[in-house]
Chains A and B, each alone.
Chain A
Amino acid sequence: MNPQTIVKSSAPVGAPGRAAGPAGHRRSRSNRRAEVRLFSRLGHVALAVWAVIVIVPILWTFLAAFKNTTEIFSSPWTLPAELRWENFGRAWTKANVGRYFLNSVIVVGFGTFGTMLLGSMAAYVLARYKFWGNRFIYYLFVSGLAFPVFLALVPLFFVVKNLGLLDTHTGVVLVYIAYSLPFTIFFLAAFFKTLPSSVAEAGMIDGCSHTRLFFRVMLPMAKPGLISVAIFNIIGQWAQYQLPLVLLSNAKEKWVLTQGIADISVNAGYEADWSGLFAALTIAILPMIIVYAVFQRQIQSGLTSGAVK
């Protein structure tokens, strides 16, 4: 939208019309201009309305987080009379949002790290080494993309229970890793295939071991792909609700943020602590806005990468 491009452009667009000259052409051009104006005006209204629909509920939550219950009921649309930071304190400690937040960070941190490590190792071997059973293992992983998690939910609960991992973060992390492998391997195997083999060969001639070659040469080369998948996994695992609900049901102190917030919303009804709930929601949403503002481009491409492939 800078003036330079507009100046540059006016010549080629205007030229053919003027050169052709006939009145019919000119009229259709002005018609078209009117059409453009109407279309873009309507379009602007639609876009602005949708932006409001997206922003307002979130902004309204942030404002309500500073109000007290009376204000929430009497004047839901006004600014808070004063900034009641104690709402956040109550949500953070009494409602355990701080605990839930930390749990989410731990589970997603280990979960994504494990997924990336194991997923890239398997994807690399499956993409670049010929051995008996390679295709079978690859399709075994990829077929996991087609199965709904809910099909496995009951047996999964008992598998985790029999391993003594029920109500532990270890259990959740291992399950997250296992269920993130299909997409991670599917995506990364395609990525490793595109890397040039000349570098790998040079490494082998220099006496590099397979393991060293992978960690020192191939992984750094695959960085763009790794970042996309890592973002995909972080956001997916952060949003998980059904798996922790089943796997951590009896250990409230181990709950993750999604579980915790959903639980607080149930209890807010009994305790009539609406401002505490709004504060808890704000604590859950605000960090995502900050992370999104910083990594907006990477997040968009990371999340859509699955669909583009």
Chain B
Amino acid sequence: MTTPYDAASIVILEGLDAVRMRPAMYVGSTGAAGVMQLVIEVLQNALDEALAGHASHITVTVDAAGRWTVDDDGRGMPVDQHSSGRPVPEVLVSELHAGAKFRDGAYRLPGGLHGVGLTCVNALSAEFALEVRRDGGRWRGHWVAGKLAGAFGRAEGKDAHALDTGTRVTFLPDAAIFGGERADPQAVERWLRSQSWLTSGLTCTLTVAGVGADAARSVRFSSDEGVAGFARWLAGHQEFVHPTPIVVHASAGEGPEVDAALLWTRAFAEDLVCFVNHVHTPLGGAHADGFRAAVGHALTRYARDARLLDAEGAKGSEADRIDGSDAMEGLVAVLSVRMHDPHFEGQTKTRLLDPAAGRAVEDAVGTALSAWLRAHPVDAAAIVGRAIEASRARLASRRASERARYERVEHLVDKDIYRQQFGIRSKNWHTSADWITNAGLLGLHGGSSQMQEDAVVLDVCCGSGVVGNSFRGKVGRIIGLDLTPEMVALSRTRLDEVVQGDVYEIPFADNTFDGVCNREVLHLLPQPERPVSEIFRVLKPGGQFVVGQWVPFSAVDGPWMFQVVKKKQPLFVNNLYDEDMRALLAGAGFVGLTTQEFLQWEDIDNWIATWETPALHRHQIRDLYNHCPAEVRAVHPFEISATGAIRDCWRWVVYSAFKPA
């Protein structure tokens, strides 16, 4: 049973002064992420009422000016006098470290920033209003830039909803601090949707006012499916390996309470979404580590006991060995831990530090998953088969990197590796990265054309043919060349003719084409001088070569980009800088070089969700962004959202050069 939530529950630890001076210290940023943190803080207070069993509905609205209102039907803040002589709500929103969450009792497992949250929201808002419904009345207060305007007190007049209880907070983030940045309503929607799954009996409603071309909308979330429903929703339209999520629930005395749902899919990326006391921890931590350990050990143990591993390598390959990252491949999972006094890295709670939580999760998930695997042998075999497949792909990726070695001038590249990789990638080529079909980038290629209307153009390493097709309407005929039969078939839908062949020995006579185009291939080819010379050879005198390539922003981000790209693509062999591309073209004899730059934002989580990128590398790529050296950050723009999603800004350069007439 909880103790009363009243004036005696409130403890003042220190005053509020520094928040407006150093906002990023409290909410992490003075950009959109900081505004989002304000919204989350208010939501978290409402959620804490729900988790304490006193609220069942959270209503959120945002108006066209960016003013947020969060209303819950909980108990309402206590309105009596605090020992400091002021009404409790006034203390709660104007004193740092004031709240009931510092004492056991009023809230069992609170989230939020613990007494910093609501005060920060007030301090960082141009306008802040608080309404408390409690004890048959309404109390209201209004603050401007953190200063109380008037007095906090009971509203006069007859109240039509005298029996209502709850708390309503309305605030407008201060444009002087956040520069007019706004929280993304879709991120708030994701938060509310998550909480409705994690909190039994909670209904959440979000109403967003129309702004510009975006129409007004309202959504409502309520579910009794719990974490299983959450996992199924996260998996979306992916093909499932087993029909229903595996559900874990464990609670032991005062220890952490663990809820989890696991659903293996045929996708490549793992998607583990973790919460501690309903706070999303995008960087994981002890609970996520415990989860991974449990999954890896449970699958390995089951595979060994059920004799599903090729332990001797009898099929002419290396012995099977599932590691944790193989076991996690394609797994969509939700992990929710509720515990007393969790310790986090940083005020915004992105990473859990408590080893005890890791052990509790490992025990709970390991025990439940092992039991489930034994009880469902058919599904278990499919899941273990998926992990073995991942482990073999990991080994194949390592071999691809090794076999891409170009052993001296007279030796040839192992083309099977390229055929195999791009053959597999052709299945989802256009959705595997944003740059492939980006209209602006493609437009720079076709738009560079200085050829006659009847010109014949060769698209070298044409892939799906989109680059060649960008010349459509500007030239007479477009021919494709690609090594991979699957890509040849794909590009035939766009180009006039497609030939299967090799860029090192282009199967056309000298001086055949008026133009050649190519994009994002030279970094995969050992000795790129040779294909560029081949292109020069097949061009007619005066012919134009248009080639697009992403390049590092400077010498400073080059080694970092090398690591990112090499981990994504084992065939990556040339970290081509702008100077290298210029030297490559000049070295082959091209003249009249002109360039156009294009900055394009790439969704990194999508870009790395491919067959050729093993799970370990996907983690390491995210680490490279999350722990990027400051010097690199200063020259290379990228964004990591509050949910951990990464978007990278790529510097593309489209080069146009000519074979001398």
B and A form one assembly: no
